[in-house]
């Protein structure tokens, strides 16, 4: 019996590494598809809130589409990338509470900066489009496709840490911060990445993490 179990474990190893490798391929393909700019013909201006929201949608579509299609090609179910019910109630309750806290906090911060409340309220619909498109894209891209594939290889804790670090490093070259602000942004992004990944693992779904991430983006947009 023990020999049979060892044989089964050895036979599963190639599949475990194949799935992890394929997850990296999905991420790389999504990055390539984003890079070629299939929506460049739209000539979107980022000088307006409409333009910023539309630009984010043009990023969301190729990245999410490629992740979903390549997941289907691999014959993985949606649950393998956390698109599932899981502990839905816990994810939604925690995620929505943090989303509201971030949103209200960002609005109050904007008021403290002498921004007009009516103007900020008029921003909300397009800001929500931007924030949810960005959060859904990044949660799938940086965590959804990786966590369940890396856990059998390096364990759940290291998978969480690795995806958090990659998520943080990917934001270092952000054009909207400079100088010492980069360190503050990195610390914030690392905390956000760790929190979203931990919530995803504990609720076994992506929905709470998307809400938390969208809330953090909304706070930042009000603060700009």
DSSP secondary structure letters along the chain: -HHHHHHHHHHHHHHHHHHHHHHHHHHHHHHHHHHTTTTGGG---SSSHHHHHHHHHHHHHHHHHHHHHHHHHTT--GGGGT-S-SSHHHHHHHHHHHHHHHHHHHHHHHHHTT--HHHHHHHHHHHHHHHHHHHHHHIIIIIITTHHHHHHHH-HHHHHHHHHHHHHHTTTT-TT--TTHHHHHHHHHHHHHHHHHHHHHHHTSSHHHHHHHHHHHHHHHHH-
Question: Could you give the angle at the alpha carbon of 51 between the alpha carbons of 211 and 57, nearest 5°?
Answer: 45
pLDDT of residue 181: 76
What is the reported pTM?
0.92
pLDDT of residue 32: 96
For helices 147-154 and 2-35, give the axis angle rounded to 10 degrees. Answer: 140
Give the rounded distance of the alpha carbon of 131 from its chain centre. 11
pLDDT at 180: 66
Domain boundaries, the chain: 2-223
User: What is the Cα–Cα distance from 194 to 189, expressed in whole angstroms?
Assistant: 8
Splitting the chain (224 residues) into consecutive groups of 10 residues, what average pLDDT does each group show? 44 84 97 92 87 96 97 96 98 98 97 96 97 98 98 96 96 65 86 98 98 97 89
């Amino acid at each position: 019996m023990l020999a049979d179990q060892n044989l089964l474990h050895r036979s599963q190893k190639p599949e475990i590494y194949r799935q992890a490798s394929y997850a990296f391929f999905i991420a790389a393909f999504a990055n390539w598809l984003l890079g070629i700019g299939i929506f460049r013909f739209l000539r979107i201006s980022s000088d307006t809130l409409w333009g910023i929201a539309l630009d984010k949608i043009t990023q969301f579509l190729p990245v999410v589409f490629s992740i979903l299609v390549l997941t289907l090609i691999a014959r993985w179910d949606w649950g393998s990338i956390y698109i599932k019910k899981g502990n839905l109630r816990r994810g939604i309750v925690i995620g929505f509470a943090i989303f509201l806290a971030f949103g209200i906090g960002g609005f109050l911060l904007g008021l403290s900066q002498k921004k007009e409340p009516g103007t900020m309220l008029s921003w909300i619909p397009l800001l929500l489009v931007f924030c949810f498109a960005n959060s859904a894209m990044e949660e799938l891209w940086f965590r959804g496709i990786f966590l369940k594939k890396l856990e059998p290889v390096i364990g759940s804790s290291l998978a969480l840490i690795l995806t958090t670090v990659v998520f943080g490093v990917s934001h270092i070259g952000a054009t909207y911060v400079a100088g010492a602000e980069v360190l503050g942004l990195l610390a914030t992004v690392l905390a956000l990445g760790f929190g979203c990944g931990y919530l995803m693992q504990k609720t076994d779904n992506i929905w709470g993490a998307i809400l938390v991430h969208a809330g953090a983006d909304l706070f930042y947009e009000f603060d700009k």
